[in-house]
Amino acid sequence: MLTLSPGARFLIGVIITTAIGISTGAVQLAHAIPAPWIPVAVAWCGVIAFVGSAAQTGLQGLGMSNANKVAAAQSLPASDKVALAVDSGKVQQIVTTPEIANAPQFAQNQKVVSNQ
């Protein structure tokens, strides 16, 4: 799997953001580079911004792993995890704490039972 260090991702993001700023006119190049070069630089920055943004989105997608998904799921409250599991249709029974099993949203659900 393709992985990049956080520093490399940050640098790519800075380059793309700079290219977006130049191509949209937010960054003025007058007196920074020779005047005849400005239209060419702006055009190339537009290309870099477009292609770079798409590539950065792809890199983010490729960087998703099961560990990332698990880390994101750990931030959910336990009752939300139980609700997601019950709604998935792939779970036959969930054994959980009495507090969650007796919660109003699970009171009538036969799949959610208490461990006591």
* CB contact at 8 A, 23 and 56: no
Give the model's confidence band at 3: pLDDT under 50 very low, under 70 low, under 90 confident, else very high. Answer: low
**Look-up of token digits 């191509």:** 23
pLDDT tens, position by position, 12-70? 999 999 999 999 999 999 999 999 999 999 999 999 999 999 998 888 777 666 666 66
Domain boundaries in the chain? 6-67, 76-114
Q: Token pair of 29, please? A: 């190049």
Give the model's confidence band at 82: pLDDT under 50 very low, under 70 low, under 90 confident, else very high. Answer: confident
pLDDT tens, position by position, 89-106? 787 887 888 888 888 887
pTM, 2 dp = 0.54
More confident residue, 112 or 51: 51
How far is residue 58's CA from residue 74's CA, in Å, rounded to a whole number?
25
- Supply the pLDDT for residue 68: 65
How far is residue 102's CA from residue 96's CA, in Å, rounded to a whole number?
10
Handedness of CA 14, 18, 21, 24 (dihedral sign): negative
pLDDT at 71 over 80: no
Q: Which of 105, 110, 19, 101 is nearest to 56 (CA)?
A: 19
